[in-house]
Amino acid sequence: MSEPKNLLGLDRSALQDYFASLGEKAFHARQVLQWVYQRGVTDFSKMTDLRLSLRQTLSECAVISLPEVSRAQHSEDGTRKWLFRLADGNSIETVFIPEEDRGTLCISSQAGCILTCSFCATARQGFSRNLSASEIIGQLLLADQLLKNDGFGSRPISNVVMMGMGEPLLNYDSVVSALRLMLDDLSFGLSRRRVTLSTAGVVPAMDRLAEDCPVSLAVSLHAVRDSVRDELVPLNRKYPIDVLLGACRRFLHKDSRRRITFEYVMLAGVNDSIDDAKMLVSLLQGIPSKVNLIPFNPVQGVKYACADAGVIDRFRNELISSGLTTITRKTRGADIAAACGQLAGDVHDRTHRSARLAGKAS
List, for residues 280-330, the tens digit of each pLDDT value: 999 999 999 999 999 998 888 888 999 999 999 999 999 999 999 999 998
Read off the pLDDT band of 53 (50, 70, 90): very high
The answer to whether residue 103 scores a pLDDT higher than 80 is yes
Query: The domain spanning residue 116 has which CATH number?
Result: 3.20.20.70
Enclosing domain of residue 99: 68-361
Residue 84 CA to residue 168 CA, distance in Å, equals 18
Same domain, residue pair 23 and 113: no
Amino acid 360: pLDDT: 66
93 in catalytic set? yes
Asked whether residue 119 falls in the same domain as residue 219, the answer is: yes
CATH code where residue 24 lies: 1.10.150.530
Q: Could you say which of 46, 63, 80 is where a domain stops? A: 63
Name the domain boundary from 25, 44, 63: 63
Catalytic residue among 113, 117, 120, 340: 340
362 pLDDT above the threshold of 90: no
CA distances (Å), 36 to each of 94, 121, 137, 362, in order?
Answer: 20, 34, 11, 48
Is 213 labeled as catalytic in the residue annotation? Answer: no
333 and 213 in a single domain? The answer is yes
Whether residues 308 and 231 share a domain: the answer is yes
Instruction: Tell me how long the chain is.
Output: 362
Whether residues 27 and 150 fall in one domain: no
Q: Could you tell me if 171 and 241 lie in one domain?
A: yes
Measure the CA–CA gap between 142 and 219, rounded to whole angstroms.
27
User: What pairs with residue 327 in β-bridges?
Assistant: 292
Does residue 44 sit in the same domain as residue 140?
Answer: no
- Same-domain pairing of 330 and 343: yes
Same-domain pairing of 59 and 72: no
Q: Which of 68, 93, 106, 113 is catalytic?
A: 93
Q: State the pLDDT confidence band at 344, using cuts at 50, 70 and 90.
A: low
When the pLDDT of each residue in the chain is averaged and rounded to a whole number, the result is: 92
- Same domain flag for 147 and 207: yes
Statement to judge: residues 292 and 327 lie in one domain: yes
Question: Using CA atoms, how far apart are residues 284 and 62, in angstroms rounded to an integer?
Answer: 49
The total of structural domains in the chain comes to 2
Based on the fold, state whether residues 299 and 341 are members of the same structural domain. Answer: yes
